[in-house]
Chain A
Amino acid sequence: AQTVTQSQPEMSVQEAETVTLSCTYDTSESNYYLFWYKQPPSRQMILVIRQEAYKQQNATENRFSVNFQKAAKSFSLKISDSQLGDTAMYFCAFMKHRSSNSGYALNFGKGTSLLVTP
Chain B
Amino acid sequence: SQTIHQWPATLVQPVGSPLSLECTVEGTSNPNLYWYRQAAGRGLQLLFYSVGIGQISSEVPQNLSASRPQDRQFILSSKKLLLSDSGFYLCAWEKRDSLPNYGYTFGSGTRLTVV
Do A and B interact with each other, yes or no?
yes
Report B29-67 CB contacts with A as 1/0, cut-off 8 Å.
Answer: 000101000000111101001110000010100000000
Interface residues on B, range: 20 to 34
Residue numbers in A under 8 Å from B75 (CB-CB)? none
Question: How would you classify the secondary structure of chain A's contact residues: helix, strand, loop or mixed?
Answer: loop
B108 touches A97 (CB 8 A): no
Residue numbers in B under 8 Å from A43 (CB-CB)? 88, 108-109, 111
Interface residues on A, range: 20 to 34
Which of the 9-residue segments A12-20, A44-52, A63-71, A72-80 touches chain B? A44-52
Report A80-118 CB contacts with B as 1/0, cut-off 8 Å.
Answer: 000000000001010101100111111011110000000
B100 at the interface (CB under 8 A from A): yes
Residue numbers in B under 8 Å from A46 (CB-CB)? 106
Give which listed residue, A50, A101, A105, A111, contacts B103 with CB less than 8 A. Answer: A50
Residue numbers in A under 8 Å from B100 (CB-CB)? 33, 52, 97
Residue numbers in A under 8 Å from B108 (CB-CB)? 42-44
Chain B interface residues toward A at CB < 8 A = 32, 34, 41-44, 46, 49-51, 57, 59, 88, 90, 92, 96-97, 99-106, 108-109, 111
